[in-house]
Structure 1
Amino acid sequence: MTTSDLVGLRIKTVRRQRGLSQAQLAHPELSDSYVSLIESGKRTPTPAVLELLAQKLDCSLSYLINGVTAEQMEDIELALGYARLALENGEVSEARTRFNELLADNNLTGLTSLRQETEYGLALATEAGGDLDAAISILLRLREEDLPSERQIEVAIALCRIYRESERLAEAVEVGEQLLVGSARPAWTDLLVELGGTLLAAYIERGDLLRARQFAAELLNAADALGTPRSIVAATWMASNTAQITGHPEEALSFSERAMAVQLENGQPRAIARMRLALAQKRLEARPHEAAAVRDTLRNAVAEFEQTSTSTIQRARLQVELARAESITGELDQAVEHAVAGRNMLPKSGMALGAEADLLLGRIYGAVGRSQEAAAHVTAARDWLAPLPDSRRSAATWYATAETMEQLGDSDGAVEAYQRALACAGL
């Protein structure tokens, strides 16, 4: 049924409940033939006519338009607000429950915009809970609908990001390029720059560094033209990532610190938390002598992550990065504790982050002479990596695996891992 059919059916139903004929409802402002056409769905009433009919039928305008009363609409909007708040506060399980309860409410069926917003919220809550495949399924269903342009971009950003986190880089790139590449690309907006940043991250992950550098410059130009905090953060942060991966760590830090300064003034808690972690990672890589300060920053960030709706993957990344900083500062027991915690948050296979956690554990145990445990963790790292597609990150992690195996005296395993690293790099 079309919207006009549904509106007409509601008018007809209420008219009959009130014991009115079409002529009685129409008189004196409208003709009975016009009311008949509206009720049959052959005419779409104007807002003014709809308001008039609602008054004459003694019912709410909301009911004629959406099939729910004003009170029901208020209840739905209030429930949606609570679900959003739970997600923003990091109460992921509660948020997911609230979004699902809303979707089970029959009154939501005819409220297309609110229903789409609820499904989008459920996808984000599902992502935050670590169920990336389920989040992708929700977003793919949503993308098939006729969405407003802003919601279409938001769905693309989330889908591109989750595909990247799932190591499905070709699909991440495809989602971003559908909206951003080609002559049909709309004029730049904040949301499109954010989508561009997500796409750029996928280029970097799969090792397409030439395209990444070109696209980073394009995003910076777009952000400068827009002059908005949101676009500046997205473009500057991705320029930082590009500088880092192309061997310019201090330039990367400079870009990152500029982005963080803007984010602190204008960003949401979840975005600030994620950026704080990424900035600490860059700082540790560029200035390992500052490991103690980075460690303290990351320890403070644990509570911040728990209080916001950062995803399980992000919380795992925080734990692994904290373990890395602690291993540099010689706090090996704490490093082991955090590396294990991060690894245990992840799905059971196909995650480069899981391999990084087990490699770190292998190196720690190797350093204290516990060679059997070290070898077991290196084997576990190989298991994490084996199902992954070729990418820059996979190549780097295979290379680190090979180095660790070599340090542990497994020459044959090291040769095989080096070969996998070369294959992932396309060599």
Structure 2
Amino acid sequence: MADRDEPEIIGRRVQRLRAERGLTQRQLAEPAYTPAYISTLEAGRVRASEPALRHIADRLGVAYEELATGRPAHLATALRLRLTDAQRTLATGEAEAAAEQYAALLAEAVEHGLAAEEAAALLGLGECATEAGDLVTGRRRFEEAEQRLGDAPLPLRVPAIRGRAVSHYLAGELRYAVYLLESTLDELNRTGLHDPDALLLLYASVIGPYMDMGAHARAAQAAEFALALAPQVGDPALVARMHRSVARTMLAEGRAAEADASLVKAAELYRQLQIRTELANCHWMRGYLHAQNGELERAEGELRQAHSMLAAQRAALYSSQAAVELADVLHRRGKSDEAAALLHEVLGDLSPERGAVHSAGAHRLLGIIAEDAHDTEAAEEHYVRALSLLERAGAAGDLADLCRMLGDLLRRSGRVEAALDAYRTGLGHRTAPGTTTLGPAPAQPPL
């Protein structure tokens, strides 16, 4: 009964439809009601019961839903089917086409007051913008989606919150991204809303920021919880995302074979689901894994495939990130000129507000290439730029190592005091506890 227009609106609608069909009030009322009742209803002076509206709808030849709300029959169902189509378009890497579909769906949902479908369209537009590298627009769309859901249960708002967190993470705002994810996990666990899908999405999403911040113990714990939750989750795309995220912690712990097995599982699920961007990310991570094992030829093949797939899909930000990993492998294989050209191209696409950690990675690698070419001045410039980006992002995991590299460079060039300063800075980051919020780690969910 709550999802109905006000009596005045329904009354005018009944009057209009009756006039269009050439019916009198008596003809509309018979045999169950009186002409006076129809007159009172059309004037908006009575709130018709559901049986009365169903009788009138039947006499007018329209669906009850259309008479009560003004929406065409089964509109919400049709919109949800089209939302699925738009999601499939985005999965195949056609972000621009998907954005057009979502925009049209959003307009229809707004016109007919369908809040849930409106939020879903906004969420899709946020994903499209993020994939295209427009993090500001993506974040705004995720915020709007969360607002449209209003007082909906927290598990329903989790995808929008996660989208906001990812946009902050990709912009290099690691600490705030972790705050969003951790506080949501705490609220879910504290209030007893133990929705497996929502929990798995959050735990899988927090692993990347944890790793970049050097909070490896928390990343490993999140991975452990995610693996335990997976059997309770029916969405294969979500399970695939979990496997891809968990592989990163396994790799950091030296469990290369298990990491590769997780990536193989993820890639197979993404192939079945035809989600090309995530499949490309699996190739990217397998390339990184092979590089860590010293299998540079295999690493180059995987990373070239990832970069090619992402570039073809115009996933600008992810493409640039994969390019940094590819450049590292190219340099290690003696193809430094190609690596440097690729990195300069990447830096044209990235910025401190858009991919700060990978911008830092590009400058770090350009510094190494310059140092190998005995260009100390250029090397120092790139290392300093990388340090600035990592400090702004709070990426403690990479800061200590970069400080050591800068210190070694300064020491070799005879600048001992400057080198000591760099080493001290690095030690400060190395000994930092790696805490990510002011409070403890999120509580363990019931598993």
Q: Which runs of 5+ in 1 are unaligned?
A: none
Q: Does 1:165 align with 2:164?
A: no
CA change 1:202–1:366 in 2 (3 A) is closer
Structure 2 CA distance for aligned equivalents of residues 38 and 402 of structure 1: 83
Q: Is the contact made by 2:206 and 2:219 (CA closer than 8 Å) also made in structure 1?
A: no
CA change 1:258–1:70 in 2 (3 A) is closer
Q: Given residue 315 of structure 1, which amino acid in structure 2 is its aligned partner?
A: S
Describe the superposition over 1:399-427 as per-residue Cα deviations: whole angstroms up to 9, x where unpaired. Answer: 55545555666655544443443344454
Q: Partner residue of 1:206?
A: 213
1:18-417 aligned at under 5 Å gives the runs 18-19=18-19, 25-30=28-33, 46=50, 51-59=54-62, 63-64=66-67, 66-69=69-72, 83-84=86-87, 86-100=89-103, 102-103=105-106, 108-144=111-147, 145-146=149-150, 147=152, 151-181=156-186, 182-224=189-231, 229-230=236-237, 232-266=239-273, 268-285=275-292, 287-288=293-294, 290-308=295-313, 310=315, 312-349=316-353, 351-389=356-394, 391-403=396-408, 411-417=416-422
Q: Which runs of 5+ in 2 are unaligned?
A: 433-447
Higher RCO, Cα 8 Å, sep 6+: 2
Question: Comparing 196-205 with 33-42, which one deviates more in the overlay?
Answer: 33-42
Structure 2 CA distance for aligned equivalents of residues 135 and 272 of structure 1: 21
Q: Is the contact made by 1:169 and 1:202 (CA closer than 8 Å) also made in structure 2?
A: yes
Q: Is the contact made by 1:4 and 1:43 (CA closer than 8 Å) also made in structure 2?
A: no
Using structure 2 for the length normalisation, give the TM-score. 0.78
Q: Is the contact made by 1:200 and 1:212 (CA closer than 8 Å) also made in structure 2?
A: yes
Q: Is the contact made by 1:349 and 1:384 (CA closer than 8 Å) also made in structure 2?
A: no
- Percent identical: 21
Q: Given residue 326 of structure 1, which amino acid in structure 2 is its aligned partner?
A: L
Question: What SS does the corresponding residue of 1:373 show, helix, strand or coil?
Answer: helix
Describe the superposition over 1:55-94 as per-residue Cα deviations: whole angstroms up to 9, x where unpaired. Answer: 3334455643553446998997797577545533434345
Structure 2 CA distance for aligned equivalents of residues 280 and 39 of structure 1: 70
Cα deviation, residue 159, structure 1: 2.5
Q: Is the contact made by 2:102 and 2:122 (CA closer than 8 Å) also made in structure 1?
A: yes
Question: Comparing 390-399 with 239-248, which one deviates more in the overlay?
Answer: 390-399
Q: Does 1:14 align with 2:20?
A: no
Cα deviation, residue 377, structure 1: 2.5
Cα deviation, residue 325, structure 1: 0.7
Structure 1 CA distance for aligned equivalents of residues 183 and 40 of structure 2: 45
Structure 1 CA distance for aligned equivalents of residues 30 and 405 of structure 2: 82
How many residue pairs align between the two structures? 421
Q: Is the contact made by 2:109 and 2:117 (CA closer than 8 Å) also made in structure 1?
A: no
Cα deviation, residue 156, structure 1: 2.9
Q: Partner residue of 1:421?
A: 426
Q: Given residue 55 of structure 1, which amino acid in structure 2 is its aligned partner?
A: D
Q: Given residue 211 of structure 1, which amino acid in structure 2 is its aligned partner?
A: R
CA RMSD of aligned residues (A): 3.9
Q: Partner residue of 2:443?
A: none
Describe the superposition over 1:169-199 as per-residue Cα deviations: whole angstroms up to 9, x where unpaired. Answer: 3432333334433343434534532322112
Structure 2 CA distance for aligned equivalents of residues 337 and 50 of structure 1: 70
CA change 1:352–1:45 in 2 (3 A) is farther
CA change 1:238–1:82 in 2 (3 A) is closer
Q: Given residue 14 of structure 2, which amino acid in structure 1 is its aligned partner?
A: R
Q: Is the contact made by 1:190 and 1:230 (CA closer than 8 Å) also made in structure 2?
A: no
